[in-house]
Amino acid sequence: MEQRGTAGGRQRTRAVHAGGLSHPSAGPDASLGSMTTPVYRTTGFTFDTAEQMAETAAGHGERFLYSRYDNPSLHEAEQKLAALEGAGAGADVGAVVFSSGMAAVTAALMAGLSAGDHFIAQAELYGGTTGLIRRVLRRFGVDVTYVEAAALGGPGLDQRLDSAASPATRAVYLETPANPTLRIVDIEAVARTARARGWRLLVDNTFASPINQRPLALGADVVIHSATKYLAGHSDLTAGFVVTQGEMLDKARELRIDLGGCLDASVAWLLARSMKTLALRIAAQNDNAMAVAGCLERHPKVARVHYPGLASHPGHETARRQMSGFGGMVSFEMADEQVAPRVIAALRLIRLAPTLGGVETTASVPALSSHVKLTPDERRAAGIGDGLIRLSVGVEDTADIIEDLEQALG
């Protein structure tokens, strides 16, 4: 069953109104005047005739069959994100929601790659994605070549991508801003090169959210989200999305059925509810992160700050072109690598946590958390030193966040 992101209005309006009872499948619920879409806690759906069930099982019509396949509660979240990510990219963009961000990453890669295929991946990726590539995809005959973010833009991009490619290359996989280095890749430039060679471009847009960046409008073919982070925004649910169109959309939906990564209806309802405030939360996090990054850049014990909103960031100009906001993630390197764990331990307001994107500010040392399974050499290649601290800046009062950082840094 297909749904498309056609809701009108600007992003804040889409976040509130896209999806919900406007969908044809809502049926009689729409006439009750409910302000919210109900939760459909059912494993399956009944039919009047066997022929009607057969037609639905074949994928025809607007009815639902079985909640591992699809469920009305999932549609509101899917329509909402399709409307947000699809803005400026055409009316036929659709979204498929999964039980986790890694389930979404897995489906997106499997939808476009088969045994014997090769793809090009940005070297600076979330540790879970790197693990999937190394421990799973390679076992099934899919090969990869990594290219550093710094090489994915500017003069000579075509030649650099060609040198990483092979006759079996089918796709390019990006994550921008990257976790945790906040490195920026020129999506539009990579999309032009990929399209000219018949490769698909997949972009993990988790750190930016569709409020700050819309890769489909920049030429990407597939967008991936760990909805656990900014889309949900309250550190209380796990989910993921694939946003695309055409054949890739159909394949992503089929893989959700085949792999069993369907999201629970109650969690989908919470996700759709949370996404209504996405634009408001992101605006506050953008402002707070910019202030925090500026403060850290001036601190004598901080060697370097990674934030695309700073003029000192090597990807600043590209970020200005392709992003409408610079996001809530800030990472910084301590002048003395050995003190990073002590700084984390001294924080009072800011909490040590492995996740990000919530309304509360959290911190982590990636070498000891998200990227701990990488070898030291792999971490160094990705720009992750032992003294790197990652901040997910929340919506608290800016002064309180900065005061906590300053007392912890000493």
Pairing state between β 362-364 and 388-392: antiparallel
Q: How far is CA 135 from CA 129, 190, 371, in A?
A: 10, 26, 15
Helices (H), 310-365: 316-322, 340-346
Instruction: Exactly one of 12, 68, 273, 320 is catalytic; name it.
Output: 68
Instruction: Exactly one of 14, 70, 80, 126 is catalytic; name it.
Output: 126
- pLDDT tens per residue, range 92-145: 999 999 999 999 999 999 999 999 999 999 999 998 999 999 999 999 999 999
- pLDDT tens per residue, range 288-328: 999 999 999 999 999 999 999 999 999 999 999 999 999 99
Asked whether 288 and 307 are in contact (CB, 8 A), the reply is no
What beta strand segments (E) does 253-371 contain?
A: 302-306, 329-334, 351-352, 362-364
pLDDT of residue 7: 56
Phi, psi of 318 (to 5 degrees): -65, -45
How many Cβ atoms from other residues are within 10 Å of residue 128's Cβ? 18
pLDDT of residue 193: 98
- pLDDT tens per residue, range 174-208: 999 999 999 999 999 999 999 999 999 999 999 99
Average pLDDT, whole number, for the chain?
A: 92
The pLDDT of residue 3 is above 80: no
Which residue(s) pair with 390 in the sheet? 331, 364
Instruction: Exactly one of 186, 204, 264, 404 is catalytic; name it.
Output: 204
Percentage of the chain beyond pLDDT 90 is: 82
pTM, 2 dp: 0.93
- pLDDT tens per residue, range 87-102: 878 779 999 999 999 9
Nearest to 316 by CA among 160, 186, 189: 186
- pLDDT tens per residue, range 32-48: 677 888 899 999 999 99
Instruction: Exactly one of 229, 253, 256, 390 is catalytic; name it.
Output: 229
How many Cβ atoms from other residues are within 10 Å of residue 369's Cβ? 16
Q: What mean pLDDT do residues 355-380 have?
A: 86
At residue 337, what is the residue type? E
Report d(CA 219, CA 271) in Å as an integer: 27
Q: What mean pLDDT do residues 266-287 have?
A: 98
**Residue 172: strand, helix, or coil:** strand
Burial of 5 (0-12, 13-18, 19+ CB in 10 A): buried
* Residues 6 or more apart in contact with residue 314 via CB below 8 angstroms: 150, 183, 184
Report d(CA 168, CA 125) in Å as an integer: 22
Nearest to 203 by CA among 242, 173, 246, 230: 173
Q: What mean pLDDT do residues 143-156 have?
A: 94
At residue 192, what is the residue type? R
CA-atom Rg of the chain in angstroms: 21
pLDDT of residue 10: 92
* Residues 6 or more apart in contact with residue 359 via CB below 8 angstroms: 233, 234, 235, 281, 394, 395
pLDDT category at 9 given cuts 50, 70, 90 is: confident
Q: Is 126 a catalytic residue?
A: yes
Helices H / strands E in the chain, number of each: 15, 12
Report d(CA 353, CA 362) in Å as an integer: 6
Q: How far is CA 273 from CA 99, 233, 266, 268, in A?
A: 17, 11, 11, 9
Q: Is 66 a catalytic residue?
A: no
Instruction: Compute the CA torsion angle 335, 338, 340, 345 (nearest 10 deg).
Output: -140
- pLDDT tens per residue, range 51-92: 999 999 998 877 899 999 999 999 999 999 999 999 878 779
Q: How far is CA 46 from CA 64, 75, 140, in A?
A: 9, 19, 39
pLDDT of residue 286: 98
Asked whether 97 and 79 are in contact (CB, 8 A), the reply is no
Q: What mean pLDDT do residues 333-355 have?
A: 95
**Residue 94: strand, helix, or coil:** strand
Q: In what order do the strands lie in the sheet with 388-392?
A: 302-306, 329-334, 388-392, 362-364, 351-352
Least reliable range by pLDDT among 241-245, 251-255, 364-368: 364-368
Higher pLDDT, 408 or 382: 408
Nearest to 178 by CA among 72, 266, 308: 308
pLDDT of residue 36: 83
Asked whether 281 and 391 are in contact (CB, 8 A), the reply is no
**Residue 92: strand, helix, or coil:** coil
How many Cβ atoms from other residues are within 10 Å of residue 2's Cβ? 11
Nearest to 271 by CA among 309, 241, 227: 227
- Which range of 46-50, 234-238, 334-338 scores highest in mean pLDDT? It is 234-238
